[in-house]
Amino acid sequence: MNCEEIREALWNDRDCQFFEYHGRECIIHPFHGGYELWYGKKRCQVEKAEDVFRVPLFDGRALEEITGEIRYYGSGDEI
Taking 60 as the threshold, does the pLDDT of residue 78 lie above it? no
The one-letter amino acid code at 24 reads R
The one-letter amino acid code at 52 reads V
pLDDT at 59: 87
Nearest to 29 by CA among 79, 66, 72: 79
Q: How much is the average pLDDT of 25-54?
A: 91
pLDDT at 15: 84
CA dist 62 and 53 (Å) reads 6
